[in-house]
Structures are given as structure tokens and as C-alpha cells.
Amino acid sequence: MLKNTCKTLTAWLRRHRAACLGLLAGLAALGLFAAARGNRAAMDWWLAHVSMPVKRGISALVNPLPFSACELGATVLIVGALAFLVRAIRRAVKGQKGALPAWLLHVAVLVVWGYAGVCALWGTQYYGTSFAGRAGMQSPAVSVEQLAAVTDYFAARVNETADAVPRDESSLFTVEKTEILQSCTGLYTPLLERWPFLDGPERHPKPAVYSKLMSAWGFTGYLCPLVGESTLNVDSPAVFLPVTVAHELAHQRGVAAEQEANFVGVMAATAGGNAAYQYSGWLFGYLHLSNALYSADPDLARASYAALCAEAQADMADNNAYWKQWEGPVKETGEKVYTAFLQGYGQKLGMRSYGACVDLLVEEFLPYTTTGGLTAE
């Protein structure tokens, strides 16, 4: 019996030799990534000469499409995998041995090579020189006084820009989402003189067909690393859509770490002349600063919030109410999965890294307050 089993297995392996070799090659590619990612010089070379050129080339092809190529590709792959699974089950029921293992093998090849592609075109981004390193920013220690000063500075900018955007009868931000997605051309131009490494081709963010599914998983947008395309959640409130666009475009321009993409997104959104982007950027920055301040000194945070205009408070309450309805196991699972993804690339803060832009914001904007300089450690 053992001899027959071995013969059957050998015959099955020979019949699926190409898939087996493909799986081994994919695992070898992942091993190469794991071995090379500790060499920053090698990662910087790869990013400059391979990863970024490839992503920009592919994104140029999909950019004219009015829909998300990433969503279409994912849909085709999932539907195709399910269709082949149904076929494999039917064959197994009819007595064809090895049908289901063959399906598993081919899915494994697809998953391994897909992940290898993500590592090559995006994972390497985490191991090159960071935005802060290229920009010469230090993120020194921040005192509660300095944090409070910058939080109040952002609150003042929010109050200044809140009246410049359209609002409904409930005083809520009502800029059309299609207008937001279409008005991001030139968003990064004001930053290029200071940070020329952020230069790159203009790309249009795409509205997500599966926006509600993104909300259920707790996502406002994502960059598809395989095609260099940004897809945005257009079901969530519009108030933070402009700064989320800026965040995703930061990823497209080579800023990998989430905390740095948040900072760069705020800088891009607030630097231009688009009122919707300015207000969204100031409010988003205020949100992260005030959350950090609340952890350090709740009384100061409450005083800062009390100084915020009624329109901004309404926008924040509306956004909080929207996301509260999605609280539950699906969102928790989504956050855990993405946290594991980030930590797999050395981003130890995981999902919390979205709030770690605070140090960079304080370093950047403290000179505009009356508090004084930072204390380096």
C-alpha cells in the first residue's frame, strides 16, 4: 500500500511539476528578500532603479482607467479561484484523486508569488532611507507644553479654514467626493523645492467600488503595491478624504511608513490653495495632536477642543459616528491583519503608527508658536 501511495504521489508531482517549481521559486524569492532587506544601500538602489520605475510604469498604464484596476484584478482572481475550486470539488466527487490538492497547490503558487511581488515592490520601501532621514528631520523629544502649543496652533488653523468650505444645514463639510478626487493635480508641487525627492508623475486616485467593505475592515484608502494605484473609500464622511488622498499620494511618491505618510499628507494638503484640502489637512493634524495631548494631559486637550469652532466639532462628531457603526469583530480582524502586515516589515507600532506623526508635526510647526525650541535627546 505504501508503495502504491508513493507511486501515486510521484505521478501527481510529475504532473504538476511546473507548479511545484513555481512554488519553490517563489519561496526562494521571499528568502532573498529576507536576506537582503537588512542592507539599506541595497534597498535604496533597488527602490531607485527597479521598484519605483516599475510601479510608475505600471501606474501610467492603469491611471487613465476610470475604475480601480486593483479592485478589478482582485475580483477576477477571487472569482477565478472560487470557480476552479468548484471544478476541483466536482472532479473529486467523481473520483478524480488529487483534484483538491492540485487546486491548493496552484493557489499557494499564486499567493506566494503575489506576496513576493508585494515584498519586491513595496516591502523593500520600508527598508530604504526613510522620509525623515532624507528630509533631515530628527523627531526629538517633545514636552507636554510644546505638544499643547502645536495642538492649539492647528486648532487656530482649523478655525480659520472651516468657513472656506461648503457646508449643509447641519454645518457639515459637503464638498463633493468626485471633486476632491479630481482636484489633487499639483498637490505636491509646493513641497518639491524643499523636498525634491517627493517629485513624481501625477496620478489620479480611484473611488473604491467596495467602499463599504473597506469601512467594515476599518480602511479609508490603500495603495496597491503591484500597480502603484491609490484606491479611496468614498463611503466614509468626506471631511478626511482630501488628506487621505494626500496620504496615499505620499505612498506613491516613495514614503512608506504610515506615520511619515500622515505627516507628508498633512504638509501637502495644507500647503496648497485648495480650501477643502487645507481644512482637511489641518483638522486631520489636529485630531492626531489632540489625541496625543489627551494621553499626556486630558485637561489641556479638553481646553484645546473647547476652542475649536462648532463646525469642526460637528465634522469630527459626524466622522466618529460613522466609524462607530462599524465597530465589531470584522473591523477588529482587519486591524489585526494589517497590524501584522506592518509589523512583518519592521513597523513595530503596527496600526498605531498612524498616530505617530505627532513628533514630526511638533518638530515642523513648533517654530510657528510662541513656546520655543525642541529639546533634543
Distance, in Å, from the CA atom of 222 to the CA atom of 218, rounded to the nearest integer, reads: 11
How would DSSP label each residue in 341-368?
Answer: HHHHTT-TTGGGGGGTTHHHHHHHHGGG
How would DSSP label each residue in 74-105?
Answer: HHHHHHHHHHHHHHHHHHHHTT-TTHHHHHHH
351: confidence class by pLDDT, cuts 50, 70, 90: very low
Distance, in Å, from the CA atom of 46 to the CA atom of 260, rounded to the nearest integer, reads: 21
- Average pLDDT score over the chain: 89
C-alpha cell at 268: 501637502
Average confidence (pLDDT) over 130-146: 88
Percent of the chain with pLDDT strictly greater than 90:
78
354: confidence class by pLDDT, cuts 50, 70, 90: very low
> What is the side-by-side order of every strand in the sheet holding 229-232?
206-207, 229-232, 221-224
Distance, in Å, from the CA atom of 352 to the CA atom of 355, rounded to the nearest integer, reads: 6
* Residue closest to 369 by CA, chosen among 147, 139, 160: 147
pLDDT in tens, 146-171: 999 999 999 999 999 999 999 999 99
Helix, strand and coil percent figures for the chain, each rounded to 5: 70, 5, 25
The reported pLDDT for the residue numbered 332 is 63
Distance, in Å, from the CA atom of 259 to the CA atom of 169, rounded to the nearest integer, reads: 35
| Residue 291 reports pLDDT greater than 50 | yes
| Residue 179 reports pLDDT greater than 50 | yes
**Residue 226 CB neighbours (<10 A):** 18
Q: Domain extents for the chain?
A: 2-127, 132-368
Average confidence (pLDDT) over 326-348: 61
Q: Report yes or no: 300 and 369 within 8 Å, Cβ to Cβ.
A: no
2: confidence class by pLDDT, cuts 50, 70, 90: low
Distance, in Å, from the CA atom of 312 to the CA atom of 280, rounded to the nearest integer, reads: 10
